[in-house]
Amino acid sequence: MPPPEHAWDISPEYAILTIDARNFSKVPESLQPALKEAMTTALQAAFTNSGLADEWADPSFKRDNGDGFTMAFAPLRSWRLVDPMPRRLDQALEDYQVEKEPGVPDLAIRMALHIGPFPPSHLSDAINDVSRFIDSATAKTALEGAVANGGHTALVLSDEMFRRVIGAGRSPLTEERHFLRIPATDVPGRDFSKPSWVYAPRVPPEKLASRFGSPRPSAPNTSLGNRRNSLAAELLQSAGSSGRLNVHTVADQITSVHAVQINQAGLVTGLPPEAIQQ
């Protein structure tokens, strides 16, 4: 990458992945090297089995964080980091779980994936943000939800990365139903909140959502007044130039049914005054 000629020059975008082992610091010191080796082996297998052997062997940037890694890649094949890499990693960790000796620590991994300008200095908002995604309570809760449901991996995608890959149809996971949309928040010592999308290969988003103390987020319900006003507008439009409409029955909900009539002047009748004022 050529050095910038001016401080305002915008560097090329890179996909930035950060990886963190669950509860690594709670593992006794004598067992940490073996756990780190198992983590590295699982990651190498997952990358290789996802068509990313070259990226694992020679990333554009790699930093060993002790309990994980931060890596940067040219974005060309970064869609593979969304799928199938998390699925391959989850399977590798399942194999580890089955084959490990009694008393050997469990291994589960959370990941965060972001994309943005990444200069030669490696000092950028993109790498700062991906570190905050992985440290967020959202990422940690997602992994706990995965583990509680038999999984070993959780991935947090930034909204930018989600749009580049999922929104653009560059993955088999092109439907939003595979993901839980929830902000990444509660980063220790940071005022941070950004849109994010959570994916756990073995766990439906609805089960992950329950870990956050609420049902799966959905589009906000339109208010009753807005529904009535919208309906009135649609009825007026369907009346054509004559402005004549018969009485229509409108059900706001099964237990509440109103008869509505709209006259030539466009006034709504048959509803209580407070509803019309809305």
- The string of pLDDT tens digits covering residues 5-36 is 888 889 999 999 999 999 999 999 999 999 99
pLDDT greater than 80 at residue 167: yes
Question: 3-state DSSP call for residue 180?
Answer: strand
pLDDT greater than 50 at residue 217: no
Distance, in Å, from the CA atom of 110 to the CA atom of 20, rounded to the nearest integer, reads 5
Cβ contacts of 139 within 8 Å, gap of 6 or more: 110, 112, 133, 154, 156, 184, 198
User: Rounded mean pLDDT of 139-158?
Assistant: 97
The predicted model scores a pTM of 0.76
* Contact yes or no for 75/164 (Cβ under 8 A): yes
Distance, in Å, from the CA atom of 261 to the CA atom of 243, rounded to the nearest integer, reads 11
The class that CATH gives domain 13-211 is: alpha beta
Q: At which residue do the structure tokens 């529904």 appear? A: 227
What are the start-end ranges of the H helices in 136-252? 137-148, 159-165, 205-211, 224-239
Instruction: Kindly give the interhelix angle for 85-99 and 32-48, rounded to the nearest 10 degrees.
Output: 140
Q: At which residue do the structure tokens 């909900």 appear? A: 253
Could you read off the pLDDT of 55-82 as tens digits, one per residue? 999 999 999 999 999 999 999 999 999 9
pLDDT score at 124: 93
Distance, in Å, from the CA atom of 272 to the CA atom of 92, rounded to the nearest integer, reads 63
Domain boundaries, the chain: 13-211, 224-277
Could you tell me the end-to-end alpha-carbon distance of the chain, in angstroms, rounded to an integer?
Answer: 58
Could you read off the pLDDT of 116-136 as tens digits, one per residue? 999 999 999 999 999 999 999
pLDDT score at 203: 94
Tell which residue, 147, 176, 171, has the closest CA to residue 159: 176
State the sign of the Cα–Cα–Cα–Cα dihedral 140, 196, 56, 43: positive
